[in-house]
Structure 1
Amino acid sequence: MVSENPNFNPQKAISTEFNKTVGQHFLQQIIDNSYDSMFVTDNLGNVLLANKGTGKFMGLTTGELVGKNVKDFVKNGVYDWSPTMQAIKTRSIVSGIVRNNQGEQQVVTSKPLMDEFNDIVMVITNARDTDVVNQYIEALEKERTTAHIYKTAVKYLSDTDGGNKEIVAESKQMRQIIRTSNFIAKTDSTVMLLGETGTGKEVMARHIHRNSHRSKEPFIPVNCAAIPHELLESEFFGYVRGAFSGANPQGKPGLFEIANNGTLFLDEIAELPLSMQSKMLRVLESGEAKRLGDTSAYRANVRFIAATNRDLKTMINQKLFRSDLYYRLNVIPINLPPLKERPEDILALANKFLEDLNRKYALQKILSKTATQALYNYNWPGNVRELRNVIERLFITSVGDLLNFQEDFFINSISRSDPPTEKYPPEKNKFYEGTLKEVIKAVEEGYINQVLTECSGRVGEAAKKLGIHRSILYRKKNNK
């Protein structure tokens, strides 16, 4: 039959029909290869197109789906309700969970497509297994939790006195301790730091962490004596939202989580109550912790360093400290000697503190010989912490560049009740040893100190009297 249309092109008509067939074929391939379940209906809910995922969920072939109405699927119990019909009824996007007759669930979304007259032409529905969606939600929640942990860690660390603290050691004792700690740092063994208050236990803990394979991870210092007993468990373990009244609505990561892969420094460990000691022991033994209100535990990959100035063995006998926790913590004990037992470190530490203060305030203050001698003669019951405080107090209150105790108002704070045994004798009684170069240097230092004392710490005047420039005098003092 020949068309009466003069513009009719039989070849073009055949080509158009072919392209339509091929196009539909590719469209079917596209939706069949979609990971999601997908089907298309008209404005009455009759299925026009469906992929294999939809058929699998409904227990029907695509041939059994096409041409059927979604109302019949609900009526016959194929699934419990139809987001497609709801989208047609409300003329809007509808989402929800649909359950099939096998109890399987999918998250389904139906979207109506409108023509230029705002009439529904068709409805596109896609769905995805709830297990997959739950995996996404779980992954997102994990990322959100991790981000919250990092945020909490940053806030926690910003509230602590991290500082760039370095170990200063001139004494034989401390040098041996540092050599031992450098070896220990390469392991994950638990360390117990023992020593009087102010001997630098936290500084040593930081040194161990800084030289370990965990150095790029958090170092979290915790003063166990500073946390109220009723808050200890929530601080260490954290809690989920709604765990108790007054809790952070987002929940809170515990110290074990914040320090994950890093080091947790438990200072004043002897102050933990017995109830918390048992919980701490469980974490040390199992490597797992659980937030308050949570049903599942998390791995706590933490290196523990504990510290105390108390006799834990005596506390064990007094039933104040658990023996099993003690032996679990006391894997590698390090005893830090008091400052009075390592006088070689006194001047080294004093100069380090003075150097830090000079750098901070852009000054060039130095210790007088009288001040140096006084530092040696004092027994330092407060150890390194007291020495640092004395140097800072002397630095702030001194008038000139030469720090001299006689000029300071707190001279009585570093006096002994008994006559001191002079560990640093006056220069006139000094017996020189060493090479000629070393003796000349010692005599030079003694004379510089003498002139500075005579000039009441006025560096310019002392430099003029010595016949050198004041910058040279500063350099000689700082490089001694």
Structure 2
Amino acid sequence: MDKTKSYLNVLVMPQSGKELSAECLKQIMNCSYDPIFVADKYGNCLMNSDSFSMATRALGINPPEMVGKNIREFIEAGIYDWSPTLRAIETGTTVTGLIRTINGSEIMATSSPVKDKDGQIIMIVTNIRDKDIVDKYIEELKREKTEIERYKTAAEYYGKVDNLDNNNSVIISESPQMKKIFKFADMVAKTDSTVSLYGESGTGKDVLARYIHHNSHRAQGPFIPVNCAAIPQKLFESEFFGYVRGAFTGANPQGKIGLFEIANKGTLFLDEIGELPLEMQSKLLRVLETGEIQRIGSTKIEQIDVRFIVATNKDLKHKVDQEQFRSDLFYRLNVIPLTLPPLRERKEDIVALAQKFLEELNIKYGLHKIIHPHTTRILLNYSWPGNIRELRNTIEREFITSTDDYLKIKFDTAGTINTNLGSKNRQKKASAYMGTLKSVLKEVEAEYINQILDECNGRVCMASRLLGIHRTVLYRKTKYK
């Protein structure tokens, strides 16, 4: 014990050779938030920090009462059930454990042996923490771990599903209709209200959903797009809610974070919401109303903060009437409805979109192709049943297959867009015209009419529309009877 006391009385600082007094050592111990006490190799308490009084209140004894006494006395008196300090003396290793005290409290203690150069124990230093503080710390670590897992899962989901900067995110609003829609979207984005997007397939509902998210206060949070039609019905609940480890046979042994959790603090975009099964509709309704979720196999209810945007190309009201969609969910989702017009009703966007797609392809492949002037008229007069998606595919197909710098498109016999594959003499040399201006103009007109008729495969109605004349005039000019 004398040797132990000598270590406590003075401490030689290696670099300066100066000694620190016991009082200085006490001050160092007092700098720790955790209560600390020191015992010798026999279990006798030598000194403790001032903060140790916080722990001794739980033990039911005062700090001065501990100094000079052996820890075995406290165990024999039933003050606490066991001692990490004594265990550290026995094993020569650091020991951590939970101590239950006579007052019914629980404290976490860690005892570490201090040894001399020969490896012999000189003293035991023990620090103590209240179990409630430890539990709170552990809970915080779990929360941070969950957040890290959520963002990691979100990043992986982005990689599998979509890229926010990919070509599908083209925003074009040259038409009055789209300018009005995006102006309204700017206002809606500032809120957390649920938005329902309606429109034909390929009209850009996903683009508008992203636009709303990126212009909201959730822009730094995740944007999670989900195609409800692509998820097998038996997997809906596990995909959306996730599950804990061992929840069911065949599940990921580590458990899984659901889409609701992944989208926390961000936006969840549910595309083709009309394909959601009725059973899942009731579960979604509850999440919308309470903001609460529960993983499969878990008893813990989690609170989430998610903004919902849904989209469909179906008439949801009709599905409600047919009892294929819950009416309560329909009205809960239909807070802010937005309908995107088809491409054929916003012709100002057609050429702008086509030019945008072509520009992207030129940059990607290092080319300088342009759209033939006549192709522009074809694009404007086509009905585009596949909307923006069909337009993109048409431009890309012609870009890849064209043998020159012009993109030239015509109608096939069914009246649908068809690239002029393998067409010869695209850059036909101009004829050597002779005669009066009137005769030359007549000849040029005839050639151009024949060109349009050829590209329309003889369809007079279509050709007359492209030429901007009545079909009877076209009949007369071509001498059709």
Instruction: After TM superposition, list the pairs within 5 Å mapping 1:392-431 onto structure 2.
Output: 392-405=396-409, 413-414=417-418, 420-421=461-462, 425-426=466-467
Are 2:281 and 1:281 aligned?
no
Match of residue 395 from structure 2:
391
The separation in 2 between residues aligned to 1:138 and 1:251, in whole angstroms, is 18
1:200 paired with 2:241, answer no
- CA deviations on 1:16-58 (whole Å, 9 max, x unpaired) are 9xxxxx9334444554564323222222222222344353232
Using the TM superposition, give the Cα deviation of residue 107 of structure 1 relative to its aligned residue in structure 2, in angstroms.
Answer: 1.5
**Distance in 2 between the 1:409 and 1:392 partners?**
21
Say if 1:212 and 1:39 are closer, same or farther in 2 by CA, change over 3 A: closer
Q: Which residue of 2 aligns with 1:362?
A: 366
Distance 2:75 2:212 in 1: 67
Shift of 1:405: 2.6
Match of 1:268 in 2: 272
Who is 1:302 aligned against?
A: 306
* Superimposed CA distance per residue, residues 321-372 of structure 1 (whole angstroms, 9 cap, x where no aligned partner): 0001101111111111222223332222222211111121111111223322
Could you say what secondary structure the match of 1:176 adopts?
helix
Q: Which residue of 2 aligns with 1:126?
A: 127
For 2:282 and 2:264, the matched residues in 1 are separated by: 20
Question: What do residues 284-341 of structure 1 show as CA deviations (whole Å, max 9, x unaligned)?
Answer: 1112223233333333222211100111111112211000110111111111122222
Distance in structure 2 (CA, Å) of the matches to 1:416 and 1:277: 50
What amino acid maps onto 1:266 in structure 2?
Answer: L
1:234 corresponding residue in structure 2: 238
Aligned to 1:373: 377
User: Are the counterparts in 1 of residues 412 and 457 from structure 2 also a CA contact under 8 Å?
Assistant: no
**Per-residue displacement from partner, 1:257-295 (whole Å, max 9, x unpaired)?**
222222211100001101111111111111222323333
Q: Where in structure 2 are the equivalents of 1:173-192 lying within 5 Å?
A: 173-192=177-196
Identity %: 54
Identify the residue that residue 156 of structure 1 maps to in structure 2: 157
Contact persistence 1:397–1:408 (CA under 8 A): no
Q: Counterpart of 1:461? A: none
Deviations 1:87-124 (A, max 9, x none): 22222222211111122111112222223443322222
Match of 1:45 in 2: 43
Q: Which residue does 1:217 correspond to in 2?
A: 221
Partner of 2:348: 344
2:230 is paired with a residue whose SS is: coil
CA contact (8 A) 2:411 2:457 kept: no
Cα distance change of structure 1 residues 43 and 208 upon mapping to structure 2, 3 Å threshold: closer
Aligned pair count?
411
Structure 2 runs not aligned, ≥5 long:
1-9, 11-19, 419-455, 471-481
Greater Cα offset, 193-202 or 294-303: 294-303
- Partners of 1:407 and 1:382 in 2: how far apart? 15
2:136 aligns to what?
135
> What is the match of residue 93 of structure 2?
92
Match of 2:326 among 317, 322, 333: 322
CA distance in 2, matches of 1:337, 1:169: 12
Match of 1:382 among 383, 386, 389: 386
2:373, 2:217 → 1: CA distance?
43
Q: Does the C-alpha gap of structure 1 residues 43 and 319 become closer, same or farther in structure 2, counting only changes over 3 Å?
A: same
Paired with 1:245 and 1:133, the residues of 2 have a C-alpha distance of 34
Letter paired with 1:397: T
CA distance in 2: counterparts of 1:85 and 1:181, whole angstroms: 69
State the 1:423 CA deviation: 8.4
Paired letter, 2:290: S
Q: Structure 1's 412 and 174: CA in aligned 2 closer, same or farther, altered over 3 A?
A: closer
1:35 aligns with 2:33: yes
State how far apart, in whole Å, the 1-side matches of 2:231 and 2:125 are: 58
Partners of 1:218 and 1:423 in 2: how far apart? 51
- Residues 178 and 120 of structure 1: is their aligned pair in 2 closer, same or farther, counting only changes over 3 Å? closer
Within a 5 Å distance, the mapping from 1:461-480 to structure 2 comes to none
CA, structure 1 residues 326+419, in 2 after alignment: closer, same or farther (shift >3 Å)? farther
Letter of the 1:93 partner, please give it.
Answer: T
Stretch deviating more after TM superposition (39-48 or 353-362): 39-48
- Aligned AA for 1:281? L
SS where residue 363 of structure 1 aligns? coil
Compute the displacement of 1:413 (Å): 4.8
Displacement after TM superposition at 1:407 (Å): 11
Q: What's the offset of the Cα at 1:395? A: 0.6
Give the CA RMSD over aligned residues: 3.0
Partner of 1:78: 79
In structure 2, the partner of 1:457 is none
| Cα offset, 1:399, TM superposition | 0.5
1:397 deviation in Å?
0.6
Cα pair 1:373 1:424 within 8 Å, conserved:
no
Q: 2: CA distance between counterparts of 1:66 and 1:129? A: 21
Which stretch of structure 1 is more off in the superposition, 310-319 or 56-65?
Answer: 56-65
Distance 1:420 1:362, change over 3 A: farther
Q: Is the 8 A contact 1:394 1:408 kept in 2?
A: no
Q: Is the 8 A contact 1:225 1:268 kept in 2?
A: yes
For residues 63 and 159 of structure 1, the distance between their equivalents in structure 2, rounded to whole angstroms, comes to: 64
Give the Cα separation in 1 of the matches to 2:204 and 2:56. 71
Give per-residue Cα distances to partners, 1:364-398, cap 9 Å, x unaligned: 11122332232233222111111111111111011
2-side partners of 1:99 and 1:193: how far apart? Answer: 60
Structure 1 residue runs of 5 or longer lacking an equivalent are: 1-15, 17-21, 430-480
> Could you tell me how far apart the structure 2 residues matched to 1:423 and 1:156 are?
51
Please name the residue that 2:145 is paired with.
144
Distance of 1:244 and 1:49 partners within structure 2:
54
Q: Taking structure 1 as the reference length, what is the TM-score of the superposition?
A: 0.78
**Which residue of structure 2 lines up, in the alignment, with residue 110 of structure 1?**
111
> Which stretch has the larger CA shift, 248-257 or 122-131?
248-257
Following superposition, the deviation at residue 201 of structure 1 comes to 0.8
Match of 1:451 in 2: none
2:102 matched residue in structure 1: 101
CA contact (8 A) 1:237 1:291 kept: yes
